[in-house]
Copies of this chain bind each other. A is one copy, B any other.
């Protein structure tokens, strides 16, 4: 991978100005924090050293880069509370940060905001195997939550390609969707309770909530997907499902997006309760991934216009295999699909998933990428990718070096009407950006879609909400922000 050192966000976007109401963090602030934090809970950049805190300042796509000199990594909710109380009183701006795998610049500072990392709050708190309620600190890495629950015959109701780095609190803060939303539903349904530190340091918690609680407004919901703009999530209680005994998947090659849709309706009908993922990738996505996974033989004999990954999970291997192989055989017989590779064992199952999960890093491996995440009616879903590719190609920007764009590809979660558009680039240029925006947003608006299906708003889509939200909705959002965070210190320059 060719690493691009991102330009400072403040320089790349000179129209964004630091809010002069915020205090510049100084030695007296660090001194105060050190008065109750351990040595390993405070990280300071040596003066003049831009690189020391780069992993906290720069985002995963190498697109945004803040200039914070101070990272706090508290190990308890009480410490988070003390930090926030002080920052609120002193008007110090704060960016909460989980695994920093965010894709819209939400988890890194823009200027000199203090970075509040949750990574040292990483304890699993409790698990009830009868109800399935799983409680943990916000900073537990998703793969560890998965491992713990698997060891206890359960499953974390969400999975993401970034599972090795992303954290449970960050996932909830950004209302991540992921690979199994089709089966287990959204976090708004699965999160049982949250523990949140408010901007003024108060702790509001219903983390001990039971499966059902209908006593008043469901306050926790506002924090799900709020991207740390109205509170810092420090603890999460979530409903884990019983671990399926049988997992099966299949990788399919087919020739048009119309067939992808037909196949999806057929799968909903015939696989129904065992259908747990229905993902699609276009030709370009897999072409990049073949280059990226160079030593790994491709799954199918031929390349195709579209690929679909279907996963089933259930309680009876024989029943599930029968349902899936019947489904695939019928689709082959009906000539709906061209080729299919059904997994025969756990290794093959994992290998099939590797091809889907490697699409984002593959696209990012040429230097960086522009990334859009949209939801649309299924009939319109792929059209946005075609329109964008056509536009970039007409400008002569796609091709071998020195052209800046390697490929413009589309893939995503058919089951959720969610497409990811990745423009894999050798460099970020204003020309590409000018061709992409506002074109992409206006296209989505014209089709009544959403400009962010699951990645959120962050810095990237700040100020773009009007493409899919009404004036009154935006006004209510701004009022919520003001009500919870009257000094606007939490995650500024982003979101509403």
A interface residues (Cβ-Cβ under 8 A, vs B): 128-132, 153, 174-175, 177, 181, 185-186, 188-190, 202-206, 208-219, 221-222, 224-226, 230, 242, 244-245, 261, 264-265, 268-274, 313-316, 319, 322-323, 375-379, 416-418, 448-457, 461, 465, 468-470, 472-474, 476-477, 479-480, 483, 495-496
Contacts and interface: CB of A to CB of B under 8 A. Distances in A.
Contact of A461 (B174, B215, B226, B455): B215
Contact of A245 (B205, B226, B261, B272): B272
Contacts of A376: 210
B189 A451 contact: no
Interface centre among A375, A376, A474 (most CB of B within 10 A): A375
A305 B469 CA distance: 54
Nearest to A128: B377
A24 to B, nearest CB: 29
Contact of A377 (B210, B264, B274): B210
Contact of A316 (B224, B323, B461): B323
Interface centre among A181, A272, A417 (most CB of B within 10 A): A272
9 contacts: A188-B188, A210-B375, A213-B375, A214-B225, A214-B450, A214-B455, A216-B477, A217-B225, A319-B319
A268 B401 CA distance: 55
Contact of A210 (B206, B216, B450): B450
A418 to B, nearest CB: 5
A242 B270 CA distance: 10
Nearest to A188: B188
A473 B216 contact: yes
Nearest to A104: B214
Given A130-B264, A211-B417, A217-B222, 6 more contacts: A185-B189, A212-B454, A213-B468, A217-B225, A217-B480, A244-B273
Nearest to A129: B265
A375 B189 CA distance: 17
A104 to B, nearest CB: 9
A471 to B, nearest CB: 10
A472 B189 contact: no
A130 B261 contact: yes
A474 B216 contact: yes
A224 B218 contact: yes
Contact of A226 (B217, B225, B264): B217
Contacts of A476: 204, 217, 219
Nearest to A448: B208
Given A242-B268, A273-B244, A472 B216 contact: no
A28 to B, nearest CB: 30
